[in-house]
Amino acid sequence: MTAVLVAGGAGFIGAQTCKALSQAGYLPVTLDNLVTGYEAAVKWGPLIKADLRDREAILKAISDHKITSAIHFAAYSLVGESTKNPAKYYDNNVGAATAFASALVEGGVEAIVFSSTAAAYGIPTVTPIPEDHVLAPINPYGGSKIAFEQVLHWMGQAHPLRHTILRYFNAAGADPDGEIGESHDPETHLIPLICQAALGTGKPLTVFGTDYDTKDGTAVRDYIHVVDLAAAHVAAVKRLLDGGSSRIFNVGTGEGVTVKEMLTTAEKVLGRPVPHSYGPRREGDPQSLVADVKRIRAELDWEAKHSDLETLIRTAAAWQANKKY
């Protein structure tokens, strides 16, 4: 069985990807310091409790499991926190990540898939946003992600380390089997906040900004189901293991949804009201972020299959109502 080292495999997207890797016949070997992840989310392969900077643990994992490829999810990802503490974000998302990549090179690993983000584009000048759009992040989180993209670029020039960078748009939904799901603290993502408000387990939702130049005045995002995201990672690993060269892909649906549309659909799907109020725009929230997904469809033979609004909301709500961690 081909083993894949999954840094951050105890987190929301990492754990779902471990499940998908296992279903595709790979052994996911998780490396995670559990700073925001959960031991209970690691079910499809071994967990190595270690930091990205733990060179010895990484080299041992590579040798024990004959690792030839890695996926790197392990990062901090709270935009607001990053603006207050940029050093924390650069230290982990660039410094520790670079130490991880160096250990991979030392261990002879030649393929890495990296979780980047639509935050790399900043305020887009074109919608849908193609991968070659200018990179102009408006917060340190986005800055730290493109800094590590550059690290991978230059390490790929110096060493035989090929990369696939996946720039995700808004990850959402939960495992349809209810085994794993999103458990961020604090939770900042729209769909879990909607579900928590509807179920009464969280505060009423605040909709930030009603005066955007969109069809109903609220911000537009591209929501991608975590199962579809996980499938994109499996396809990306396979492509690199087959000898594919370094490449960057957006991962989204290509469809924009406003906050109000999500809210009204959630009320229909859940059959109950979502208590909410309206507030001013949040600083640094772009009006619209929608992916151009032509490249990933053509080159990874990947398509979003679970990202309709009903599936996103239904799976997320089921998880929120019956969280395992």
Residue 171 in the binding site for ligand NAD (CB under 6 A): yes
Distance CA 51, CA 291 (A): 32
Among 3, 4, 6, 8, binds ligand NAD (CB under 6 A): 8
> Nearest 5°: phi and psi at 58?
-70, -45
Q: Which residues contact 124 (CB under 8 A, 6 or more apart)?
A: 133, 286, 288, 289
State which residue, 37 or 137, has the beta carbon closest to ligand NAD: 37
Binding mask 50-69 for ligand NAD (x = CB under 6 A): -xx-----------------
State which residue, 38 or 278, has the beta carbon closest to ligand NAD: 38
- For helices 12-23 and 226-241, give the axis angle rounded to 10 degrees: 60
Residue 92 token pair: 């982990």
Among 3, 5, 6, 10, binds ligand NAD (CB under 6 A): 10
State which residue, 12 or 249, has the beta carbon closest to ligand NAD: 12
- Strand ranges (DSSP E) for 118-245? 162-168, 170-172, 205-208, 220-221, 223-225
- Single out the residue of 198, 252, 249, 259 nearest to residue 225, CA to CA: 252
The CA-based dihedral angle spanning residues 215, 217, 220, 223, taken in that order and rounded to the nearest 10 degrees: -90
Residue 309 in the binding site for ligand NAD (CB under 6 A): no
Q: How far is the CB of 219 from ligand NAD (least distance, A)?
A: 15
DSSP 40-63: GG--SS-EEE--TT-HHHHHHHHH
Among 75, 220, 236, 274, binds ligand NAD (CB under 6 A): 75
Among 5, 20, 74, 112, binds ligand NAD (CB under 6 A): 74
- Single out the residue of 211, 213, 293 nearest to residue 251, CA to CA: 293
Among 44, 73, 89, 319, binds ligand NAD (CB under 6 A): 73
Among 117, 218, 288, 311, binds ligand NAD (CB under 6 A): 117
Active-site residue list:
141
Question: Which residue ranges make up the site for ligand NAD (CB under 6 A)?
Answer: 8, 10-14, 32-37, 51-52, 73-75, 77, 92, 96, 115, 117, 168, 170-171
